[in-house]
Chains A and B, each alone.
Chain A
Amino acid sequence: MSTEALSAVSNQVMWNRLISVVEEQAQTLVRTAFSTSVREAGDLSAGVYDLDGNMLAQAVTGTPGHVNAMAESVKHFMREIGTDNMFEGDVYITNDPWMGTGHLHDITVVSPSFFKGKMVGYFACTAHVVDIGGRGFGADANSVYEEGLCIPIMKFAERGAVDMGLVKIVRNNVREADQVVGDIYALAACNEIGDRRLVEMLEEFGLETLEPIAEFILENSYRATVERIAALPRKSVTNEMTIDGYSDPIRLCVRLDIEEDHIRADFSGTSGIDKKAINVPHVYTMAYACYALKCAIAPEIPNNAASLSPFKISAPEGSILNAEHPAPVALRHVIGHMIPDTVLGALHDILPGTVPAEGAGSLCNFQLSIRPQSGGNAPPDARRAEVLMFNCGGSGARPSLDGMNATAFPSGVMTMPIEATEHTGPVIIWRKELRPDSGGAGKFRGGLGQYMEIGTTEGHEFDFSAMFDRVRHPARGREGGLEGGATRFELDDGTVMRGKGKQAIPPGRKAFLALPGGAGYGDPKERDPALIARDVAGGYISAEAAMRDYGYKPKA
């Protein structure tokens, strides 16, 4: 075998190794993190970069939203810190939404990696912390200044010594300070693990720098991605989707131009910046637009600077998908998670039989701010707590498969075990189970949403920060499939609540949620009767819905 072939093999091995290094980096973050959003839900990402700040490999975690954002951010650090001001043992930090991953709650940590005294690259990681001060995680801020503490790009540690001044500032500005500070340490630790593994790899393969492997990775990824794009019909297509927004509906518009070696996605026509905190910085728009295109066109090519570069994403300045400082952006995910359905809908005209019907889209998250009951009759052990939960509606039906019940798409984070959640504060989750009849009917049925009921232990009251969409704009079916069930948010006495914003839950009351279902694909009348019978037996659809939507009569 030729040396060329041999080095191709060892490059292949090293590429796989770099991917496993960042996977281990991410795993370390999960194991050492304090916030349930990181340790249970996997809302984090991790990656390794060359000396030019090109992302070479990224861990596949639950957050496509960090994909491009992470890819861009190291270059900001190089500019702000200055590479001649970087030393072994340094750790840098920021949570600037426009330098990091789109909102203050995501803290990004970057560490330079040294081998034999010389810098060889960078590790970066991002995690969603439970609190960052300000109004708390929610939709209600009018500018980013109200959303909490902003840490500019700066050193968290220099030559191994932590900046205790910064730690004090963080401690004094956030709720749940132990968790947040603990998470920052966890971020630093995870880069350190990445660094150790990288050094081992360089030693093992007798390399002094990452350059040769970087070139191999970037060239191969770029070529493979462009090949996929070249195989598509050269066409331009458009789609639009309207969703709830905060108080006024929001229109998301996209136009895709398939060119020979790239795809342009432009969001002109999309609604302007909203007054409330649902605006999306451009990095986050890029991430989810790219994600949708990659799923449909080049799913198995790993993410890195080169495999992402043929996807050129733009949105007009001042639109809700390219919000500029100081727009409030805390809930950028609620709108950002709707981008894939918008993009996939357009792709349906180019790749029929590939993309799913619309689904729940955004994660159905909420944050509870629990405190002792007011009026002085709270028990002595009553306490304050911030509790964040990630929950999912149903995904859209696929051209040949039902949608997935209560499963995140496009986000990939995990829900937290309710047993773990109940250890973090005096919250009680009374119900968390599938919501029958919420999956849109079709030849293939949309995924079911879920019911939840949330209260606290005695002596507490709480604010409920809602982050739901699809209350007035349920998921739309494809090729004759029907709509998915719409979101409902009520009190247990039937009082209807708003889909977004912080709302007080009176003592003794519970919050009731019906999370949305995915839409159906194809004519319901064409559904296999055996599948309808199974759905009725398991209670996924009621007998009435089977009759109404599918014309199904059970055999006597």
Chain B
Amino acid sequence: MSDPKVRLGVDIGGTFTDVVLEHHGALTTVKVLTTYDAPERAILDGISQVCNQAGVDASEISSIIHGTTLATNALIERNGAKTALITTKGFRDVIEMRTESRFEQYDLNLKLPDALIDREHRYVLDERMGANVQVLKALDPAEVEALAEEIKTGGYESLAIGLIHSYLNPAHEIMVRDIFAKALPDVTLSLSSEVSPQMREYERFNTVCANAYVKPRMRAYLTRLTEKLAGIGTTAPVFLMHSGGGIISLESASEFPVRLVESGPAGGAIFAAHVAAKYGLGKVLSFDMGGTTAKICLIKEQNPKTARVFEVARTYRFKKGSGMPISIPVIEMVEIGAGGGSLASVDAMRQIRVGPESAGSEPGPACYGRGGERPAVTDADLVLGRLDPDNFAGGSIKLFTEASERALETHVGQTLQLDTTTAAFGVSEVVDENMANAARVHAVESGEDLSGYVMIAFGGAAPLHAGRLCEKLGIQQMLVPPGAGVGSAIGFLKAPFSFEATRSVYTRLTEFSPPQVKEVLAELKAEAGDFVRSCEPDATVQFEFRAYMRYVGQGWEIPVDLTQDEADAPTAERYQAQFEAAYANLFGRIVDGLDIEITSWAVKGSTEVPQPEMITTVTAGTAAETSGVRHLFDPASGRFVDAQTVERDAVEAGQTVDGPALITERETSIIVPAGFQASMQSDGCLLVTQTSPARAVEPSQMERSA
């Protein structure tokens, strides 16, 4: 029998699958290797392990909240389905021509990223919608049927359909779908007017291409997962974490898998926000480093910032514009190919490069002894003394140091005439610098300065690198919460059921109709409320009302929050006042004498998330008991030092550990650099604080990188 107090969070990362069981207030966690050929296998394995440990029967689980980076990885590694784009004649190259600009103005050797779908796989139809919802050129069904025949010979698994102005009038896209669905029953279809009904063809087409590209695999996977779960007696509904930080149904997720892009990281951000709330922190940098990627997110006042467009797979020093835009609601963050599994190599300029290619879990880093021959970041970590070869992932994976040394020597050391340790140091330093640089760029783009920020580090590899990252960024405090290795999965369990119902209804304030506005908002409220209650029938649903407004003639709307009362009794005057207040707050000055328009409406319904209890931090106490000493490489001084090792479980609240030290736990180890002190908090978080001033600042901080 399912028990509402038993819930499961599952996060599939590029290397590990994390499973977290919440049962009557307690948490049991397990980390297993991701099984690429059938990701559900790792989940079932994890469930059986976690249930055994907790003494819970799988049938007691009442709901499963699932997030995955499978979709993101497919886009970064370009290994999705064989996909074609069907678009309007004359616009075959929209996804290749991008914005016709260079994202770096001063680099003569700039390389633009390739389009997701190659030119020979882009087909056109002779049709055209206008900007006023009118049909400029009607679509001939015979042409669509003929195209379907041509497509058949191409062996495509998935089709993206993106036509000009379809966000206003989707009739032609729907006609294409209806004909294709009959002619090509085995091919999955994605419509831009459904995936991302927003103006701006490049973003919309690219988003529908990304959806189509990941859809066949995600859908097949989700179907297999529910079947397999039923096989072990779990009939609990499966919900999916989406990129905006809320939870959606399995059906929506199968249809719009692009919404799962960044779902794991979104869970991580929710997790960090939860920790920030416990400690009352206003400025937090969440640093989530897993096996394949690192995610950096700024969290101010305990709310991760959200956006309506983001970029995935940036290819050029993480620079804005070098990736591909996806227009869906998303928690804003940067993600780069830097994880424990990221592979190192030496390029033509004799520079060490790390990532974005990842060893993943199969074969994994060389030290896994599963056939991996190229060195990964984890290999460097092992050689530098950060990992215990006999106690990795709770002892479930034995690590082979010699294999790491061999790989580093062959692929880095020999080329650059470096000894193995220096090669490992080089790899580690390059990946840390990559991450620090990404954090700096993101902070700049957000108009923030990182000093004064507190880092919250989680994800399997983060605690190994977070200390060094703090040194590089001038951050003086970091928190490593318990369960750091499975943070995203815990975050899933803290996320509300939420759904944002949106609609494009153009309304000018001079033509404002209160009954119409009231009706639109009431309908959206009902839609959002029904969705949330379909996930949790007895839930108390909270609603947020929002209008996207601008002066007539502007191109970008600003979100204007409305109260329930303003939604129930709308007047043009009140909306104008709200808009002007929001506009003045953002931009300082309102514009006189111009009409104001509302372009779209959103109502978000979400279940209430209980406020966590506040923690009072402790920083001074007795020293925790040392369990041993290990040779640990100290990157700031460039040599090995003797570091004390301490078992995390043995540290009591209020006790401290002085760096250099390694605090070991089942899923990862926390490196406390020299000049830092860790103190155990009452909730199990480790607070790591800089105690002596920063050591020599490396030259990389002094110069702008070339």
Contact = CB atoms under 8 A, between A and B. Distances in A.
Contact of B445 (A23, A186, A400): A23
Contact of B109 (A23, A400, A408, A419): A400
Dominant SS at the B interface? loop
Q: Which of B109, B443, B552 has the most CB of A within 10 A?
A: B109
B587 A433 contact: no
Contacts, number: 195
Contacts of B60: none
Contacts of B696: 1
A505 to B, nearest CB: 18
B693 to A, nearest CB: 6
Nearest to A31: B556
B101 A413 contact: yes
A355 B108 contact: yes
A36 B556 CA distance: 11
B200 A32 contact: no
A356 B110 CA distance: 11
B494 interface: no
Nearest to A157: B589
What bracket does the count of chain A residues touching chain B fall in?
35 or more
A415 interface: yes
Contact of A432 (B90, B199, B448, B702): B90
A345 to B, nearest CB: 13
Contacts of B695: 1
B588 A189 contact: yes
A431 B128 CA distance: 11
B703 to A, nearest CB: 8
B555 A189 contact: no
Contacts of B551: 34, 182
Interface in B428-447: 440, 443-445, 447
B108 A354 contact: yes
A406 B100 CA distance: 6
Interface stretch (A13-21, A46-54, A95-103): A13-21
B258 to A, nearest CB: 20
Contact of A189 (B128, B443, B587): B587
Contacts of B443: 20
Contact of B120 (A31, A42, A422, A537): A537
A44 interface: no
Interface in A437-471: 450, 453, 457
A21 B119 CA distance: 40
Contact of A185 (B96, B474, B591, B704): B591
A404 B702 contact: no
A20 B447 contact: yes
Contacts of A511: none
B194 to A, nearest CB: 17
A407 to B, nearest CB: 6
B102 A182 contact: no
A392 to B, nearest CB: 4
B86 to A, nearest CB: 15
A429 B131 CA distance: 11
Interface in A366-398: 390-392, 398
A494 interface: no
A418 B100 CA distance: 13
Nearest to A195: B588
Contacts of B118: 538
B101 A185 contact: no
Most buried by A among B119, B199, B697, B706: B119
Interface string A534-556: 00011110000000000000000
Contacts of A404: 102, 110, 112
A9 B688 CA distance: 23
B101 A42 contact: yes
A48 to B, nearest CB: 14
A158 interface: no
Interface string A283-294: 000000000001
A299 interface: yes
B201 A182 contact: no
B101 A423 contact: no
Contacts of B201: 417-419
B701 interface: yes
B445 to A, nearest CB: 7
B199 A420 contact: yes
B100 A391 contact: yes
A208 interface: no
A419 B165 contact: yes
A174 interface: no
B555 A188 contact: no
Given A193-B588, A356-B108, A398-B109, A434 B444 contact: no
Given A1-B695, A28-B587, A419 B702 contact: no
A12 B164 contact: no
Given A428-B136, A434-B97, A295 B588 contact: no
B108 A420 contact: no
Contacts of B199: 417, 419-420, 423
A21 to B, nearest CB: 7
A178 B553 contact: yes
B704 A13 contact: no
Nearest to B97: A406
Contacts of B538: none
A539 B101 contact: no
Nearest to A62: B101
B105 interface: yes
Given A32-B587, A295-B108, A538-B120, A409 B97 contact: no
Interface in B450-486: 451, 474
Contacts of B106: 294-295, 299-300
A453 B90 contact: yes
Given A196-B588, A417-B202, A419-B165, A30 B556 contact: yes
Contact of B119 (A9, A299, A302, A538): A538
Contacts of B553: 34, 178-179, 182
B622 interface: no
Nearest to A356: B108
Contacts of B154: none
A231 interface: no
A8 interface: yes
Given A1-B696, A405-B96, A300 B706 contact: yes
Contact of B92 (A296, A433, A453): A433
Contact of A415 (B101, B445, B448, B558): B101
Interface string B549-561: 0011111101000
B108 A398 contact: yes
Contacts of B649: none
A429 to B, nearest CB: 8
A20 B112 contact: no
A262 interface: no
Nearest to B112: A404
Contacts of B111: 401
B417 interface: no
Interface string B584-597: 00111101101000
30 contacts: A1-B697, A8-B702, A13-B449, A20-B443, A20-B444, A20-B447, A60-B105, A162-B592, A178-B552, A181-B591, A182-B551, A182-B553, A192-B587, A296-B108, A300-B706, A390-B100, A398-B108, A398-B109, A401-B111, A404-B102, A406-B93, A406-B100, A415-B97, A419-B167, A420-B555, A423-B131, A428-B136, A433-B93, A434-B119, A457-B130
List the 4 closest A-B pairs by CB distance, nearest first: A431-B90, A538-B119, A192-B588, A299-B106
Interface of A: 1, 5, 8-9, 12-13, 16-17, 19-21, 23-24, 28, 30-34, 36, 39-40, 42, 60, 62, 64, 162, 178-179, 181-182, 185-186, 188-190, 192-193, 196-197, 204, 294-296, 299-302, 354-356, 390-392, 398, 400-401, 404-409, 412-415, 417-420, 422-423, 428-434, 450, 453, 457, 537-540
Interface of B: 89-94, 96-97, 99-102, 105-112, 118-120, 128, 130-131, 136, 164-165, 167, 199-202, 440, 443-445, 447-449, 451, 474, 551-556, 558, 586-589, 591-592, 594, 693-697, 701-702, 704-706
